[in-house]
A and B are shown apart, each in its own frame.
Chain A
Amino acid sequence: MIPLAVLVGKALRFVLRLRGGGSAVPGRIALAIEPKFLQKTLGRMQRGIYFVSGSNGKSTTTAMLVKVLRAHGLRVLSNPAGGNLPQGLASALLADVSLFGRLDHDVAVLEVDEAYGKLIAKKVAPNGLLLTNLQFDQLNRFHSPEEVFGYLDELATLTKELLVVNGTDPNTERLAKGHRARLKAFGVYASKEAVASARNGILAAPSFDLDESDLQHIINLVSTSGNRAVITHGGAAVELTLPAAGLHYAVDAALAIGMASKIIGADFKAQVAADAISELQAVYGRGEVIHHQGQNIEIIMMKNLPSLQANLDALQESPKTVWISVDEGTPDPSWIYDIDLGKLRHADVISGTKTYQWATRLAYENLDFGELIEDENAALEYFLKLPGTNKTAVINYEQMMWLRKRLGLLDLEGGNA
């Protein structure tokens, strides 16, 4: 049934793309015709399939891992973010797959959603799993990090050989310890000095586990400063340039290099890996600067508490012209009271449906909150007219996607990864 699934899927994909935009429909149809579509395509990958999951840093770490593997000569298949569900993933595969289900790649690296990852894993079990962290994220959806721990634990149970985790995060470390009898489990650890480089550290969710033993170290993050990081692998130290400043990027890079070293094996070269990551651009919204009509707008993403805190901690100086915009993509922004605003000392304009909740937060801190303009179009116009060319936007994910579209940056996330 594979040829029929591919043929129909590809035709549908072609027609739908002519009408503009991607869609999960071709993938859904391909899966309906051939329920084992993912097994018969991805499952044939010679060097295996690897998943990347966790609360934050999935996109960045996946992009880094792909880059490092390619630098070692591997042909890597990856999924655009959003291709997290089986049908979305199948749709993405239809672009590359031959009539008989063959893919021209050696290895697949897939970013998977914490909760939905198992739907893909049940169809095609990963050879290895990389877990970035377990942090406070989307409590309206996940209720508690403990619920997410359960999802990630299930993903590890469905994994065949290899588990690499952020060892400095007490929850992913604990999770890996629970699987080390069956899987090869490794930890990527950040030194105390590296952790202390960020005002609020690694921002892990709490864990009340008392087992203080370490996993087997594969990579250690020795230090990081600005957009530079030093890691050690097998006793040798290499230095690399990160796509943007911040401890979280340094940890992502160390995780990607650690995972790559295990996928590649004896042929792995730390310097090649460091050079590959040094060439990488920021995954957008994360330390990205949007250039628009002579203005540089630095994006500070407010995806959740740890991501906003990590991005604020990475600020080198107080931003001069600040726009905050948050909409219903953040249903309950109560957690902004847990944020250490650090170098963020004022706002010039606040917009979005949560305008007044943010203004209240700044007012309690005795900080100027500027103009309050709920309508984000009007707020953007006001913001762009403010004097100066270097500006900062603190926005949630949905507002970032809106802004990119509004400013004519039309590529979808991950399209250039």
Chain B
Amino acid sequence: MPKFTILHLYPNTLHLNGEVGNVVALVERGKASGLEVAVQSVELGENLPTEKPDLIFIGSGILSAVKVASVDLEKKSPKLIDWVGAGAKVLAVGAGFDLISKGLEVEPGQTLFGLGLADTRHRITNDHLVGEVVTESGLAGFINWNREIVRGGTESILATVSSSNEAQLVGYQDGYRTGNIIATNIQGPFLPMNPSVADELLGISGKVAKRNATLNQLAEKSREAISRRVNR
């Protein structure tokens, strides 16, 4: 049975909005498609595994949690950056996006370390955007986010919000996508709500196992419900 290994960084420190649901989706969908999926969790101060994982997941958290994670991540950064260079995929959600960026400015003069995997610089703003969204590419979910993001290039955007119950979110450019890296601020959680992205990360797009078909239907209905609400 082909193997798929997931490295879940700081699950007990970085969890804010059910991000673990993304890992659940990867595990369950992978298993249904005949993959042998294993998850290894690494907490603050713990050692990274010796072997390169297939995917690195990093979730969101409260600011004090992001600060301690950032310090720990800096120590782990050479190995993580090497792995991604050698093809390990990355999914970063919420504050996890901050931690794979080129840094998060929490206040003038204080910037937290980021892995620099995404060509973006982040800054915390007082303008909190909160609402349900549907994107031009058909992704859906909930955004609750207060960052200004300066990008190296526009080709790195994951999705553009086409409708939302929050007017300021319409046109919002979400997340990051390049090569083997995906970052987003869409919750739902992101992968259970948008399972096609999970299948892409797992490399199982196109062959839909029976159980995954049921999960896809439920996700589609969830997205439809959001779409009805934001287009009301």
Contact residues of B between 18 and 61, Cβ < 8 Å to A: 18-21, 24-25, 28
Inter-subunit contact B20/A337 (CB<8 Å): yes
Q: Which of A331, A355, A359 contacts B142 (CB 8 A)?
A: A331
Q: Which of A146, A331, A337, A353 contacts B24 (CB 8 A)?
A: A337
Say whether B221 faces chain A, with CB atoms less than 8 Å apart.
yes
Inter-subunit contact A334/B142 (CB<8 Å): yes
Number of interface residues of A (CB under 8 A): 31
Which chain A positions have C-beta within 8 A of B67?
Answer: 208
Inter-subunit contact B215/A353 (CB<8 Å): no
Inter-subunit contact A206/B62 (CB<8 Å): yes
Q: How far is the CB of B20 from chain A (nearest CB, A)?
A: 6
Inter-subunit contact B128/A331 (CB<8 Å): no
Which chain A positions have C-beta within 8 A of B24?
Answer: 337, 364
Say whether A363 faces chain B, with CB atoms less than 8 Å apart.
yes
Q: How far is the CA of A334 from the CA of B22 in the complex (A)?
A: 10
Q: How far is the CB of B91 from chain A (nearest CB, A)?
A: 15
Which chain B positions have C-beta within 8 A of A335?
Answer: 17-18
Inter-subunit contact B192/A146 (CB<8 Å): no
Most chain A CB within 10 A, of B15, B17, B193, is at B17
Inter-subunit contact B188/A334 (CB<8 Å): yes
Contact residues of A between 329 and 373, Cβ < 8 Å to B: 331-332, 334-338, 353-357, 359-361, 363-364, 372
Q: How far is the CA of A136 from the CA of B222 in the complex (A)?
A: 24
Q: How far is the CA of A353 from the CA of B17 in the complex (A)?
A: 19
Q: How far is the CA of A166 from the CA of B24 in the complex (A)?
A: 34
Inter-subunit contact A143/B146 (CB<8 Å): yes
Say whether A318 faces chain B, with CB atoms less than 8 Å apart.
no
Q: How far is the CA of A207 from the CA of B61 in the complex (A)?
A: 12
Say whether B214 faces chain A, with CB atoms less than 8 Å apart.
yes
Inter-subunit contact B218/A332 (CB<8 Å): no
Q: Which residue of chain B is the closest to A143 with respect to CB atoms?
A: B128
Q: Which residue of chain A is the closest to B24 with respect to CB atoms?
A: A364
Q: How far is the CA of A357 from the CA of B130 in the complex (A)?
A: 18
Most chain B CB within 10 A, of A208, A338, A355, A356, is at A356
Which chain A positions have C-beta within 8 A of B117?
Answer: none
Say whether B16 faces chain A, with CB atoms less than 8 Å apart.
yes
Say whether B180 faces chain A, with CB atoms less than 8 Å apart.
no
Say whether A145 faces chain B, with CB atoms less than 8 Å apart.
yes
Q: How far is the CB of B156 from chain A (nearest CB, A)?
A: 24
Say whether A1 faces chain B, with CB atoms less than 8 Å apart.
no
Beyond A336-B18, A338-B15, is A364–B68 a contact (Cβ under 8 Å)?
Answer: no
Say whether B175 faces chain A, with CB atoms less than 8 Å apart.
no
Q: Which of B62, B68, B146, B219 contacts A145 (CB 8 A)?
A: B62
**Interface contact tally, CB-CB below 8 A:** 96
Say whether B189 faces chain A, with CB atoms less than 8 Å apart.
yes
Inter-subunit contact A332/B64 (CB<8 Å): no
Beyond A139-B144, A334-B17, A361-B192, is A208–B65 a contact (Cβ under 8 Å)?
Answer: yes
Q: How far is the CA of A360 from the CA of B28 in the complex (A)?
A: 12
Say whether A205 faces chain B, with CB atoms less than 8 Å apart.
yes
Which chain B positions have C-beta within 8 A of A372?
Answer: 221
Which chain A positions have C-beta within 8 A of B225?
Answer: 353-357, 374
Which chain A positions have C-beta within 8 A of B17?
Answer: 139, 332, 334-335
Beyond A338-B20, A353-B225, A360-B218, is A332–B142 a contact (Cβ under 8 Å)?
Answer: yes
Inter-subunit contact B132/A334 (CB<8 Å): no
Q: Which of B21, B141, B215, B218 contacts A337 (CB 8 A)?
A: B21
Q: Which residue of chain A is the closest to B67 with respect to CB atoms?
A: A208
Q: How far is the CA of A136 from the CA of B144 in the complex (A)?
A: 14
Which chain B positions have C-beta within 8 A of A360?
Answer: 192-193, 215, 218-219, 222
Q: How far is the CA of A139 from the CA of B17 in the complex (A)?
A: 8
Which chain B positions have C-beta within 8 A of A359?
Answer: 218, 221
Which chain B positions have C-beta within 8 A of A364?
Answer: 21, 24-25, 28, 192, 215
Q: List 22 A-B contacts (CB under 8 A).
A: A136-B16, A139-B16, A139-B144, A140-B142, A143-B128, A146-B62, A205-B62, A208-B67, A328-B229, A332-B142, A332-B144, A334-B187, A334-B189, A335-B18, A336-B18, A337-B24, A337-B189, A338-B18, A360-B219, A361-B192, A364-B25, A364-B192
Which B residues fall within an 8 A CB radius of A?
13, 15-21, 24-25, 28, 62-65, 67-68, 128, 130-132, 141-142, 144, 146, 187-189, 192-193, 214-215, 218-219, 221-222, 224-225, 229
